[in-house]
Each structure stands twice: as C-alpha cells, then as structure tokens.
Amino acid sequence: MTTILQFHIEDPAELPKPNITSNNSDPVENVDSVLLTCEPQTQNTSYLWSVSSKSRLASTRLELSLDNRTLTIHGVTRDDTGPYVCATRNPVSDGRSDPFTLNVLYGPDAPTISPSDSYYHPGANLSLSCHAASNPPAQYSWLINGRPQPYTQELFIPNITANDSGSYTCLASNSGTRLNKTTVKTVTVSEAVSKPSLHASKTTVTEDKDSVVLTCSTTNTGISIHWFFNGQSLKLTERMTLSQDNSTLTICPVKKEDAGKYQCEVSNPVISRKSDPVWLDVSYGRSTTGLPVGSIIVIAIGVLVGLAL
C-alpha cells in the first residue's frame, strides 16, 4: 500500500509598510515606562529596531519581546525621545517605518536667573530673566521679598533704590508634570559712596626716627578700604601695619622710600571713591653741622615745594 503525502507551501507575502504605536503618548520622565510596538503583526517576519545616535539610551532600561516586535523603555528620560524606526523583513521583502519621536514630559529643572549680577547702582534699571528646562515650556512667576508679582518670565523695575534690595524668587511650573522649582537671587542696591578724607599724624618726618599714622575717614558703612601709594596699590612692608578694618595705616619707623603720595579708597561692590592725596616728606642724613644733607621734595595739595639745603 502506498501513502501519498501532499504539501502545500505558501510563498511569503510582500510585507506592508510598518508603523510604530506607543502605549503612552506623553510619558513623564523618571515616572513612566513606554512600550513601542511595530505594527502590523505578520507571520514569518523578523523585526529590527534602531534609534537616533543622538539618543543616549541605557541598555539596562531596554527590553525586547521574544519576537522583537515590542520595545519597552523602562523609566523613560528626556534623552529617550528618539526618533525610533522599526524594520520588518521576510524572505521576499522588507519594510521600514517612518521615524517615531516620543514626547517626554520633564522638568522644570531649577530655574536660572540672569544676569548673574547681584549689586546695582541706585537709579539703574533692574531687568531679570528666568529660564528653566521644561517640556512643556514652564510658566513663570516672581516673588519680591515674599510678595507675589505678575506672571511673567521677564521682570523689569526702572530706577531702583535701596528699597528694592532683597530676595527675588523665580517660580517655574510645569502643567504636564505638575512639578514646581524655585531659585532665589539676592539683589543689593548699593548706597552712594561719599568721598573719604585722609589725615596724617605728620607730613614731614625724619628717617629712622619718626613714625606716621595715616587715617582714612568715611561716613559710609559696609564698605572696603584700600590704600594707594604713588598711584599704585600699596604693597605693605614689615614696617607697615593696617588696623583690622583697614582704616588706619601705621608706618614705624619711616624710611626715605616711604616718601610720596598716599591715598585711600572706599568701595562697595558697585561704587568706589578715592580721597585727596596726602604727601609724606621724609628727611634723611645729617652733616657734621647737624643740617640735613638730603630731603625728599614734597608736593602738598597740588603745590610743588622744593626743600633747599
């Protein structure tokens, strides 16, 4: 008896163009996972996935189904937007989907307030801008010393005064993630700086014999004091001592190289003012008659005085 076996072999069909579907059209960063599926499902088909090189996908967060048709991205981030492409292949044809981009909701990150300046002149215009990375774009509001301001990304205050000093808070809100972030900036409107006065205990001294005390006086508070000698920043020697607040300079004993023009400067982070100069004359050397054999020329209050021997 003879058995006849009949086989029916179907030729693989030409594949339709694939397309990508997602289980979540607006995933939230670090909250949601996303399943991307290559459609349609066909038999005897291989599925392949590719993603833009710009996306920094971590392989530990990726998972493929057994047939490679579904790609799962666990804990989606803003770097996972893609675009993604799925390709299908069978023995007679292949297909490639259009690129698919994820709309990942993220942010807002901590906002940045610009410019970075913190100190301003009285009468200046204060213009602050707030920006935070966010999708969808953040909405912005401001607080000045805790007082709410109009909803705006840009804050402008003309002709500021010392009363405008304080804390400026930018609040960035994301309607998609329902998250808020704030950044606080301290603004200081500096008071006007008055010209300081400089007084010397002596203006004519003898080398190795006398000491001199220079005192810088100012009506301002919260300022810094710096010293200048002959127009240059003063370099302290072992014979020079500054008081704790820099307002007093003591030279003990005086040397001939200490002769010259002294000034003090008072400053805050925005404004500085220098005193009028005080000139120090140092006499040095004695002859057998006891008369000076040398003296430094003194300039006082802009008048040149020659000391003749």
The mean pLDDT value for 6-25 works out to: 76
CA-CA distance, 114 to 132, in Å (whole number)?
A: 11
In three-state secondary structure terms, 162 is helix
Query: Would you state the pLDDT for residue 126?
Result: 96
Domains recognised in the chain with CATH numbers: 19-96 (2.60.40.10), 112-189 (2.60.40.10), 197-305 (2.60.40.10)
Burial track 179-188 (b if 16+ CB lie within 10 A, e otherwise): bebbbebebb
| Lowest-confidence region among 44-53, 94-103, 145-154 | 44-53
C-beta of residue 211 within 8 angstroms of C-beta of residue 254? yes
| Lowest-confidence region among 13-27, 48-62, 134-148, 202-216 | 48-62
C-beta of residue 71 within 8 angstroms of C-beta of residue 100? no
Residues of the chain with pLDDT > 70, as a percent, come to: 86
Q: Which residues contact 246 (CB under 8 A, 6 or more apart)?
A: 216, 224, 225, 226, 227
One-character DSSP codes across 19-82:
EEEES-SSPBTTT--EEEEEES--TT-EEEEEE-TTS---GGGEEE-TTS-EEEESS--GGG--
C-beta of residue 103 within 8 angstroms of C-beta of residue 28? no
Q: Which residue has the higher pLDDT, 169 or 61?
A: 169
- Which pLDDT band holds residue 294 (cuts at 50, 70, 90)? very low
- Which pLDDT band holds residue 298 (cuts at 50, 70, 90)? very low
Question: Is the pLDDT score of 296 beyond 80?
Answer: no
pTM (global) more than 0.75 = no
C-beta of residue 286 within 8 angstroms of C-beta of residue 208? no
Query: Which pair of tokens denotes residue 169?
Result: 């808070």
CA-based Rg of the chain, rounded to a whole angstrom? 39
Strands (E) located in 197-306? 197-200, 204-206, 212-217, 224-229, 232-233, 240-242, 248-251, 260-267, 272-274, 278-286, 292-295, 298-300, 303-305
Question: Is the pLDDT score of 264 beyond 90?
Answer: yes
Helix, strand, coil percentages for the chain (3-state, nearest 5): 5, 45, 50
Q: Which residues contact 200 (CB under 8 A, 6 or more apart)?
A: 212, 213, 214, 215, 262, 278, 280
C-beta of residue 294 within 8 angstroms of C-beta of residue 282? no
Q: Cα 80 from chain centroid?
A: 28
CA-CA distance, 229 to 252, in Å (whole number)?
A: 16
- Which pLDDT band holds residue 9 (cuts at 50, 70, 90)? very low
Question: Is the pLDDT score of 246 beyond 50?
Answer: yes
Q: Cα 73 from chain centroid?
A: 34
Question: Is the pLDDT score of 292 beyond 50?
Answer: no
CA-CA distance, 34 to 28, in Å (whole number)?
A: 10
What does the pLDDT look like over 119-157, one tens digit per residue?
998 899 999 999 999 999 999 999 999 999 989 999 999
- Which pLDDT band holds residue 221 (cuts at 50, 70, 90)? confident
Distances (CA, A) of 205 to 41, 139, 200, 212: 103, 69, 11, 8
